[in-house]
Chains A and B, each alone.
Chain A
């Protein structure tokens, strides 16, 4: 077990005459990983993203301060031992708020991007693969592209806030609302890119071959087409995460979205702007973390695109 990675990637086979052959098996994913490792920015991105995720989800266990606890005697503090990032003007601990806010912002980003990914892939593959659906689905996509997201969000929040609040409670209700709206309004680019790739791939010889031996259509889609369009899907997913975090920030900035005592990075930044001269850390930290998260995710997406594209891989 001195070289575990090597032993995993090698398989021992017995030849027909009993001699052992050492073959080096190269799966697609090991190749992808090799290529990905070459992209320094992407590696750094993974490191930063993992660090932020671990920090916001494990951090509250170590720094066990309730983000909504108010200490009236400790207002507008700079960094002190009991409040490592200082406090805000009503005595909230900034670090605790940053951690709690990070959980929400990351959760919003990941889930909204996931919804957008599912929808975009579904519509893109359907439009690209079934000719009859192409026209209607792409016009539908155009329609969604033409929708301005912020006004739409405002109207939807107004319309569905009360019913969702009654069913799921204020925080979960708004979370579902924001996540689904961001998801539902950001799948279009994925769909267009996927459709384009599917159109070109379905004319390739290996798909024709699969057709000719009578492979069912859904098998062709899952077995032959989807793996080949994985690269654009992954890239748009990573961009989607960044986009969702920024949209949520914009909403918080407008004072919409989550209740005012529910910290998210966007809201912390918004609340802190007035205090930039008094406690600059209230603006610096949320701003820095939004920027770092978005940047790291973008770099990861960049690296994944290079790594997933078979034509680029190995160069």
Chain B
């Protein structure tokens, strides 16, 4: 009898020990601590253009397909990537049929169906929603549910690259049941829903404090057994890039820190010796650029401040930036190599294009900007009639070239600002610098005058990027209909308020072109048009720099999609 008990006890002990050693229990690794020094202001990616919101929401809501760190597309909620070969894409490229995986459940236990996908399309394309990702849903006639797990997207034109809708972290699927009453003008008011979206991802939101912290727990309905390895995520925002790097590399209190825009000497110092973490840097499509305001941001204009009023862009034109010579001179006066050396080091290279990657799309037509040419800049301004006044600042007809130059608060950006101010001084341009806290600047709060969408300044600087490898949706950002303005709650992506019929024509043509070589040519000429018109002044092709602690396995970075794209696979090294 005693022997028998002993046997059972030892058997039980063996099993339970084996159980705890078995590495596939969901939630076995405790809490994962992510540090995003730009805190997310909402969990709804369709109402914010900020990368931080996209990143945060990407661990909760998911698209049909995702890009990996090499830019390769993988089916995510879909069973496979539809192609012409497997019959998913029609031969004339006018429709694409996605099959959704069966048995995928939302975190509330209900099933994901094609209704949700159709609803997502309707949500984002509703004119009053102010959807910031609407350019991912261009040229779509209809999205129809063929059955409970099949949807077909019909395009107005032949779409040789039909993978922008529902692909990547810009265009994830929302739950219809939750957002049904949040379409159109009510989208902004659905705070509860926007802060706690129900998703299919490995984690679900427990608590959301805007611009501060997101607490998430493992989604018990997640489709893969034993994943995620973490029982929860603490998505902490706030602080600055340097302290974020320090929290991972030096003190080791956080597992992962994103977007370490820190002076290279500081980062190198932290990473050397017995550092507690590792730095990942990858080059994608991110370009730090100066956005040029084509509209007049004068506060005296009241409501029409920085508002594009149409009329061939002349009715509210910027007093001096609407002059081509001024824009060109501003670009020529900048020595980009200095900016790279001082602020970016290994994580930056000079760029003369807003579309620097993938390599096939990179244009070489704008390489003039690689070398600083102050004499030429001065000559241009002289020729255009901008004469230096007594204080050395150029003016014409009582208009002084005095620039208000804003960006987010970050010491690298303030360093860049200081350099550019000095460089512009050499061509007789006066610059006033302004820095705004990143969570406000990128926050998209329509009540704040300091957002990058409102653009109440002459020049603003930030980085933008796009997911995936096809630039069509990204290049559509600077068409007339994307102009950020009052009527779309500043939800457009065209911050410079650049509106050029020729550019729109190229965009339309691109949407109809199937041939890859032709698409490359079009993408390049769109890029060249923006660059040669100086709607944007590109500065630095930035690598994404993140850091993860040495005991964390899984992060590989990703410049084509969310850096947290594979968070379900992250785990602690044992």
Binding site for B on A (CB under 8 A): 68-70, 72, 75-76, 89-90, 92, 158, 162-163, 166, 170, 254-255, 259-261, 271, 274-275, 277-278
Contacts and interface: CB of A to CB of B under 8 A. Distances in A.
B418 A75 contact: no
A271 B414 contact: yes
13 contacts: A70-B419, A72-B342, A75-B342, A89-B265, A89-B342, A158-B449, A162-B299, A254-B437, A260-B435, A274-B242, A274-B411, A278-B265, A278-B266
B21 interface: no
A261 B338 contact: no
Measured as residues with beta carbon below 8 angstroms from the partner, the interface class of chain B is: 20 to 34
A163 B448 CA distance: 16
A255 B411 CA distance: 10
Interface SS, A side: loop
Contact of A70 (B265, B422, B433, B450): B422
B493 to A, nearest CB: 25
Contacts of B433: 259-261
Given A72-B342, A255-B437, A274 B263 contact: yes
Contact of A274 (B262, B448, B456): B262
Nearest to A162: B299
B409 A255 contact: yes
Contacts of A260: 414, 417-418, 433-435
Interface SS, B side: helix
Interface of B: 242, 262-263, 265-266, 269, 299-300, 338, 341-342, 409, 411, 414-415, 417-419, 421-422, 432-435, 437, 448-450, 456
A158 B414 CA distance: 20
A68 B433 CA distance: 13
A271 B338 contact: no
A259 B418 CA distance: 11
Contacts of A278: 265-266, 269
A62 B269 CA distance: 36
Contacts of A70: 418-419, 422
Contacts of B456: 162
Contacts of A75: 342
A68 B266 contact: no
B93 to A, nearest CB: 49
A259 B437 contact: no
Contacts of A90: 342, 415, 418-419
B417 A261 contact: yes
Nearest to B335: A72
B546 to A, nearest CB: 18
B296 to A, nearest CB: 14
A132 B488 CA distance: 55
A137 B449 CA distance: 35
A271 B417 CA distance: 14
B434 A259 contact: yes
Contacts of B418: 68, 70, 90, 92, 260-261
A158 B263 contact: no
Contacts of B422: 68-70
Contacts of A261: 414, 417-418, 421, 433
A249 to B, nearest CB: 16
Contacts of A277: 266, 269
Contacts of A68: 418, 421-422
Given A68-B418, A261-B414, 10 more contacts: A72-B341, A72-B342, A75-B342, A158-B448, A158-B450, A166-B299, A255-B437, A261-B421, A261-B433, A271-B414
Nearest to B448: A158
